[in-house]
Amino acid sequence: MLNSALLSSQSFLFDGLLKNWSLHGINTEQGFSYESMNHDWTINAIDRIRLLTQCRQLYTFSHACQRHHTKDWQALLKPLFDFITSRYFVDGRWIFSLNDDLSIKDQHSDAYALAFVLLSFSHYYKVTNDDRALFYMKETHQFLLNNMQAESGGFYESFPVDVEQTRRQNPHMHLLEGYIAAFEVTQDADYKATIQSLLTLALAHFYDKKSKTLREFFNSDWQPHPTTGHLVEPGHHFEWVWLLYQANKILPNSDYTDLAQQLWLTASRHGLANNGGIYNQIDGNDYHPIDKEKRIWPITEYLKAITVMPIGKEEKVDRLEKALDFVQQHYLQPNGCWNEYLNADNTPKDFPLPGTSSYHIFLGLTEVIAWAKANNDLEDSF
């Protein structure tokens, strides 16, 4: 059953989603990705083109080229990289977004988006050996340290900095992901040091020892935010599980794998809905669901977490089969589209295709495919 589900997932990714986004979701004249698409693969214009979206598409196609050499997809990489560096890197820093006419819309620098500069440029470099990617990664790192680092630890959300802004764990989670990728391709000690600082921050401030949950929102000195500090997301618990095990390959430390296992226990006990799927949000104090809708990305993070958790193979396969069955029944569509949101009863919401979501879908499914190949549980794949 797992083999069949994975072959179907592989076909959805490479013959459906990526193929159609490459044909319809990329402006080949200018080299950029559209922000959003409709389910008939027409453009859903929303009057912004974010750096984040461009970087997630560059990451997805760069990583896809590492798994399956496709000349048409590889031909997209340099124009997309060139578009990103020529349009968004302004006066020594990355701006947030453009208008649909490609004029500048929002000039602030966003820590969350900068994380995906690091991730996407690392994977772009793996495919192309384009040294410009390494230059921009170092520039990004220096900008973060010099302009967005907070005395209380971590980084501010955006630049110019507002020291009273709500602090979030989410940009730091993705910065960890970006720095892991950057270190893997460069072995740069500065990136390794930042990985260590982000891990320390997570254990010191994001993890609530009493409830054994990962908190999302904080005030300026990392105290839980007075109105939103109780909100937690099971999907982010699973995402951290996978990242902590990736980081452990670079900086082995049982404190962080212990944290991963505790986050797994909390999210798998309280974040999985009885009728399948992963809740968007639960209360970190009493574990009751707050948002029972189910966006697609949390279950893709659950898939990734399953592959790294030290659980028995029988349980691992059982969890993978059930999760993949739910994904294929409720989210994935025959033409490479997907349902972005489900209602609590698992009926799909009417919602277009965000250009940011293929990153989650691609990585979630390919991590399971890679695990199955490594464990001889996948046959007839390319």
Question: DSSP assignment of 333-347, as one string?
Answer: -TTS-B-SEE-TTSP
Is residue 382 in some structural domain?
no
Q: Give pLDDT, residue 68.
A: 87
Q: What is the CATH number of the domain that holds 350?
A: 1.50.10.10
Which tens digits make up the pLDDT trace of 65-116?
A: 999 888 999 999 999 999 999 999 999 999 999 999 999 999 999 999 999 9
Average pLDDT of the chain, as a whole number = 96
CA dist 242 → 83, 102, 165 (Å): 31, 36, 28
Q: Give pLDDT, residue 381.
A: 59
Helix axes 189-201 and 131-143, enclosed angle (nearest 10): 40
CA dist 308 → 245, 278, 344, 373 (Å): 7, 18, 28, 14
Which tens digits make up the pLDDT trace of 265-283?
A: 999 999 999 999 999 999 9
Question: Rounded to an integer, what distance in angstroms lies between the CA atom of residue 13 and that of residue 5?
Answer: 12
Which tens digits make up the pLDDT trace of 112-160?
A: 999 999 999 999 999 999 999 999 999 999 999 999 999 999 999 999 9
Report the candidate in 306, 358, 351 with the shortest Cα–Cα distance to residue 14: 358
The pTM score is 0.97
User: CA gyration radius for the chain?
Assistant: 20
Q: Give pLDDT, residue 69.
A: 83
Question: Rounded to an integer, what distance in angstroms lies between the CA atom of residue 327 and that of residue 80?
Answer: 30
Structural tokens at position 302: 């659950």
Number of domains within the chain: 1
Question: Rounded to an integer, what distance in angstroms lies between the CA atom of residue 128 and that of residue 102?
Answer: 26
Is residue 63 in some structural domain?
yes
Is residue 379 in some structural domain?
no
CB 55 within 8 A of CB 84: yes
Which tens digits make up the pLDDT trace of 354-377?
A: 999 999 999 999 999 999 999 876
Structural tokens at position 127: 């495919």
Structural tokens at position 158: 């955006």
Please state which of the ranges 52-66, 130-144, 247-261, 365-379 shows the lowest mean pLDDT: 365-379
Is residue 351 in some structural domain?
yes
On the question of pLDDT at 191 being above 90, the answer is: yes
Question: Rounded to an integer, what distance in angstroms lies between the CA atom of residue 351 and that of residue 164?
Answer: 34
CB 221 within 8 A of CB 166: no
Is residue 381 in some structural domain?
no
- Residue numbers of the domain that contains 209: 2-374
Is residue 165 in some structural domain?
yes
Mean local confidence (pLDDT), 337-346: 98
Contacts of 256 (CB under 8 A, 6+ apart): 199, 203, 244, 247, 248
Q: Give pLDDT, residue 376.
A: 76
Q: Give pLDDT, residue 378.
A: 63
Which tens digits make up the pLDDT trace of 292-327?
A: 999 999 999 999 999 999 999 999 999 999 999 999
- Burial (Cβ within 10 Å: 0-12, 13-18, ≥19) of residue 280: buried
Q: Give pLDDT, residue 178.
A: 98
